[in-house]
Homo-oligomer: A and B are copies of this chain.
Amino acid sequence: MEYEEPKFFQVMKYGIEADRDVIDMVSGNPDWEPPTALREALAAYAELPSAEFQYPPSEGIRDLREAIAVRRGVDVDRIVLTNGTGEANYLGMARALERGAGDEALLMDPVYPYYPGKTELLGGEPTLVPTERDGGLDVDAVRAAASEDTALVVLNTPNNPTGAVYAIEKVREVVGIAESVDALVLVDEVYDRFDHTGSFESALSLDSDRVIVTSGFSKSMAITGFRVGYAILPDAHVDAAKTRHMLVNVAGSRPAQYAVSHALEATEPEYYAEARERLADRIDAFTEALEAAGAEYTRPDGGFYVLARFEGFPGTMENVKRLIDEAGVAGMPGDTFGTARDDWLRFALVTPRSLEAAERLVDYFSER
């Protein structure tokens, strides 16, 4: 079973133990402040009567579910709050795979490594489907891969690691293909607040009974450690997801849900815009430097990762360690993300030292 964290930790550990200053571009942890209202709400929660410290409803506290329902334009009964987007994906994928509609999950390549990991945990068979050169959705490839055994298609938009933002028309076509083979489509939209194109459209707009949308507040509120996410399921699949959620986790953590609920209500659009603009500036600077270093790269339309390929320097773990030792920059090996980009490296721009890292890369590759 292959998934991100072990390699991720391996690289982090190597970077920390290195005999020099290393800029961490490995983790997906936002480096900016959470909303002020989140801190305030958590402090206020600590003073509440002890009854407020007991089990929330299994599907999550009502206020937060209602706020999500309004923002997302869906019925509140379709929403299950989860222990981060990770659990939301687990619940949605489990539902698709347990229906007796086949064992195969189609995953786009490059792939976020938890998806094949979860598929195998659930007894399913992951199949990697090629995407376009820039990471865009290749509808013909999905069509060619789909069969009666396909139970699930997983999409992630804005995408980790490619930064692609899928055109909604292509997502609609994929949903049509899924329908023809009795598959469900799970769309992980956790990076939806980091759309740099202004054209991102949620798969919820398709209003399809085949579509499960997942998301969370880890990235948008800079709180990956709080573990507050959600799944929005079609009516026919909500009860199964709730049952699994209850049997696995009973409920999510109430202080975290409470803090997010208040922060969601109180936080102005400017907060999200500021984070997005900060990232866009970093992307500009970083990709300019990549250009100068003669690297091939994908300029992300969304999210905060950049994939880059340096001639004669494939994205192996060995080269990642070399880059740490010789350039002082830690990225992730491309082969963590399936087969499509195993020549590449992934850099996370959630560090104020992104520009400095870019300069180090320029220097390093100009001297080789």
Contacts and interface: CB of A to CB of B under 8 A. Distances in A.
Interface of A: 1, 3, 5, 27, 29-34, 39-40, 42-43, 45-47, 50-56, 58, 83-84, 86-87, 90, 114, 117-118, 121, 222-227, 243-244, 246-256, 259
Contact of A248 (B5, B54, B87, B225): B87
A225 B249 contact: no
Nearest to A1: B243
6 contacts: A31-B51, A53-B222, A54-B225, A83-B249, A83-B250, A121-B243
Given A42-B45, A247-B114, A252-B253, A5 B224 contact: no
Contacts of A246: 3, 5
Given A1-B243, A3-B246, A118-B247, 9 more contacts: A29-B51, A39-B46, A53-B226, A83-B253, A86-B248, A114-B250, A118-B248, A226-B253, A253-B255
Count of this chain's copies in the oligomeric assembly: 2
Contacts of A118: 247-248
A114 B247 CA distance: 7
Contacts of A33: 50
A69 to B, nearest CB: 20
Contacts of A249: 83-84, 86-87, 90, 227, 249
B227 A3 contact: no
